[in-house]
Amino acid sequence: MRYMSALTAAFLLASAAVTDPALAGGPVTPGAVVDADWLAEHRGEVAVLDVRRDLESFAGGHIPKAAPVGWDAVRTTRTIDGVERQKVRLAAETFQRLMREAGVDANEPVVITSPGKAAGQITTQARLYWQFAYYGHDDVAILDGGNAAWRAAGHDLATGPAEVSAGDYTAGAPDDSVLATVAEVDAARTNAGVQLTDNRPMAYYLGLEQAGYVYAAGHIPSAVNVPFTLNVAEKGPATLRDAESLRAVYAYQGAPMDLAAIAYCNSGHVSALTWFVMSEVLGNDDAQLFDGSMHVWTQDESRPVTNPARR
């Protein structure tokens, strides 16, 4: 868990550096979340990745010197454990190539942004953050509220195409501690020490709606519903709600942070934001993301699904 305010972190680092010069080699990002003013002050020290669905819109306005990353390139269809799975994590060599094309260098600090106007855009930042975490790159943060917050703070946006030089980023060995397997999800159904959190809108949780690549409507038994939209403000830039409120809401919904937790949705996209909040903001070191989520779970029709709408 690396979340703290940029101001607090900067003070602590500056104070500690007086007595511990070794901190000079530590992370540049002060935590998993940075605000627009911190990024403006440290812009020359980090790579900024702007992840968005519509790459053509990048030229209309972006943080100066940011590199665009297409959302369609962040996930893929690939065979894992002998089964073809959609919308899942990139293989190490593919992720490495994508980050090199975006200009990221080995061990370079990274800040991830997006248009920042809605919860769905912030989820793309969290998903890319999770893939960095999975491949062992720790000096990474998301820009709270994305480009919308950058603009609201009075900072200018640049226009025109990106100018990106290839980087030499190297993907590390996978960190399986942030990834929940099908076996772990199955075991969590009957383990009181692990809480499954379904982060889709309630209509999907209740089985009233169903994504086309999910093969059964409803939710994994024992899962509680914590919609991903609860994590961010509804009006203005999509900034994260304060940690105290988030902790209370998660507990009220049945997912207190003293339990290990597995976040899932239809594919592992919007649930990446819930994983990010649980792990990086609320300090749950035992939070995992179920990559592939309901798509993967329902590929085997013998796996149980609870559907209150069709009892």
Quote the pLDDT of residue 24: 47
List the one residue out of 75, 301, 294, 86 whose CA is nearest residue 196.
Answer: 294
List the one residue out of 279, 285, 284, 288 whose CA is nearest residue 33.
Answer: 279
How many other β-carbons are positioned within 10 Å of the β-carbon of residue 146? Answer: 28
- Report the relative pairing of strands 224-225 and 33-34 from DSSP bridges: unpaired
Q: How far apart are CA 45 and CA 167, in angstroms?
A: 15
Burial class (CB in 10 A: 0-12, 13-18, 19+), 240: buried
User: pTM for this one?
Assistant: 0.92
Quote the pLDDT of residue 10: 44
| DSSP labels, 229-289 | GGGB-SSSS-PBPPHHHHHHHHHHTT--TTSEEEEE-SSSSTHHHHHHIIIIIS--TTEEE
> 185 φ, ψ to 5°?
-65, -45
Taking phi over 0 as left and psi of -120 to 50 as alpha, with beta for the rest, 134 belongs to: alpha
Q: How many CA atoms lie within 13 A of 250 on its CB side?
A: 33
Quote the pLDDT of residue 25: 62
> 28 φ, ψ to 5°?
-80, -45
Cα-based angle 194, 196, 200 (whole degrees, multiple of 5): 160
Quote the pLDDT of residue 19: 34
DSSP element (H, E) containing 112 = strand 110-113
Q: Report the SS3 class of residue 160.
A: coil
Q: How far apart are CA 93 and CA 151, in angstroms?
A: 35
| Whether the Cβ atoms of residue 113 and residue 143 lie closer than 8 Å to each other | yes
Question: Where do the H-state alpha helices sit in the chain?
Answer: 6-19, 36-42, 71-74, 92-101, 119-134, 146-152, 182-188, 202-205, 243-252, 271-276, 293-297
Quote the pLDDT of residue 13: 40
- Each of the 311 residues of the chain gets a pLDDT tens digit; together they read 655 444 444 434 443 333 333 334 678 999 999 999 999 999 999 999 999 999 999 999 999 999 999 999 999 999 999 999 999 999 999 999 999 999 999 999 999 999 999 999 999 999 999 999 999 999 999 999 999 999 999 999 999 999 899 999 999 999 999 999 999 999 999 999 999 999 999 999 999 999 999 999 999 999 999 999 999 998 889 999 999 999 999 999 999 999 999 999 999 999 999 999 999 999 999 999 999 999 999 999 999 999 998 86
The label of the residue with tokens 């069709």 reads: 310
Quote the pLDDT of residue 5: 45
Quote the pLDDT of residue 27: 85
